[in-house]
Amino acid sequence: MSHYPNSGTWRACPQCGRHVHQRQWGTYQQCPYCHYWQRLTVTQRLQQLVDTATFQSFETTERPVNQLGFPDYAEKIQRAQRQTGLSEVVVCGTVTIVQQPCVLAVMDSHFMMGTLNTVVTRRLLHASEQARARHLPLVIVTASGGARMQEGVYALVGMNLFLAELARLATAQLPLITVLTDPTMGGVSASFAFRGDLIVAEAGAKIGFAGARVIQQTLPVKLPADFQTAEQLLANGMVDAVIERPQLRAYLGRALSNYGIGGQVHG
């Protein structure tokens, strides 16, 4: 007989199918049977990466607009907002990570699969502008299925505007660190995810452009078991490091310390 309570605290592992009690998932949300890493919310990610009580969110009033008139788009956004408690996919602000100051942007794949739209790109652009204004490194934690189809070309234009801003960040000689988590796909992987001066992937993350199922439906090929994994990308020189979730905060702290950039966190 299980020593865990029965009510509403069990969740099936997406990888092995075993039922795992919430206590067994632990702080870092890892399946104790197959070691699958559960996808994190923004709140969980901040709790794991950021020094206590140092996150200062940037004020934002932008809200998504249904510019193309997609049916039910407004309802889908409202549902995602209720389910996640977020107004959009990304949260940005100033933080310290192991006493190292930076601007941090964290994406949440639980909000419409972390898809990129005009509001998300404006928030990311503002985060980079703040990094330049405060003379701080920029750290972006990606978790996205790509561009949001309901915003079409507007989402793609937003990506280009953000890439232009990242060029200005580079001209200012301020580092960009991208942390690629599960999933990092589509337009996000094709644009800024691999623009980092340091590109870190979380162990076990799925990272690519088109998904394996789409590729196999298009091309008669058998894909390797490690296709589009963080580990495969490291073996092929596409990322600088693959880090286990419990070690990620310490790794980022060391990286930020090595850059040696001290700017203004507050103000």
Q: With contact defined as beta carbons under 8 Å apart, do 146 and 186 qualify?
A: yes
pLDDT in tens, 154-167: 999 999 999 999 99
Would you state the pLDDT for residue 123?
A: 97
* Count of domains for the chain: 2
Question: Is residue 71 located within the same domain as residue 3?
Answer: no
How far apart, in whole angstroms, are the C-alpha atoms of residue 142 and residue 109? 9
Q: Which residue has the tokens 């490194």?
A: 137
Question: Is residue 71 located within the same domain as residue 195?
Answer: yes
Residue 34 tokens read as 């197959």
Residue 265 is assigned to a structural domain of this protein: no
Would you state the pLDDT for residue 4?
A: 53
Q: Which residue has the tokens 């249904």?
A: 66
Would you state the pLDDT for residue 212?
A: 78
Q: What is the CATH number of the domain that holds 133?
A: 3.90.226.10
Question: Is residue 242 located within the same domain as residue 118?
Answer: yes
Question: Is residue 12 located within the same domain as residue 135?
Answer: no
Question: Is residue 193 located within the same domain as residue 63?
Answer: yes
Q: Is 16 known as a binding-site position?
A: yes
Question: Is residue 138 located within the same domain as residue 201?
Answer: yes
> Residue 58: exposed, middle, or buried by beta-carbon count in 10 A (0-12, 13-18, 19+)?
middle
Question: Is residue 13 located within the same domain as residue 83?
Answer: no
Residue type, 201: A
Question: Is residue 102 located within the same domain as residue 206?
Answer: yes
Question: Is residue 190 located within the same domain as residue 158?
Answer: yes
Question: Is residue 52 located within the same domain as residue 26?
Answer: no
Domain with 253 in it: 39-259
Would you state the pLDDT for residue 1?
A: 37
Residue 156 is assigned to a structural domain of this protein: yes
Share of the chain above pLDDT 70, in %: 95
Residue 19 is assigned to a structural domain of this protein: yes
Q: DSSP assignment of 60-123, as one string?
A: -------TT--TTHHHHHHHHHHHHS-SSSEEEEEEEETTEEEEEEEE-TTTGGG-B-HHHHHH
Q: Which residues pair with 20 in a beta bridge?
A: 11
Q: Which residues contact 168 (CB under 8 A, 6 or more apart)?
A: 128, 132
How far apart, in whole angstroms, are the C-alpha atoms of residue 106 and residue 127? 11
Question: Is residue 140 located within the same domain as residue 155?
Answer: yes
Residue 266 is assigned to a structural domain of this protein: no
> Residue 100: exposed, middle, or buried by beta-carbon count in 10 A (0-12, 13-18, 19+)?
buried
Q: With contact defined as beta carbons under 8 Å apart, do 62 and 119 qualify?
A: yes
Alpha carbon of 61 to those of 41, 64, 66, 88, 120: distances in Å? 21, 10, 16, 11, 12
Question: Is residue 29 located within the same domain as residue 46?
Answer: no
Alpha carbon of 126 to those of 16, 114, 121: distances in Å? 40, 18, 8
Q: Is the peptide bond before 183 cis (omega within 30 degrees of 0)?
A: yes
N-term to C-term CA, the chain: 56
Residue 34 is assigned to a structural domain of this protein: yes
Residue 218 is assigned to a structural domain of this protein: yes
Please list the ranges in the chain whose pLDDT falls under 70.
Answer: 1-8, 262-267
**Can you give the pTM of this predicted structure?**
0.93
Residue 10 is assigned to a structural domain of this protein: yes
Q: Is 31 known as a binding-site position?
A: yes
Residue 18 is assigned to a structural domain of this protein: yes
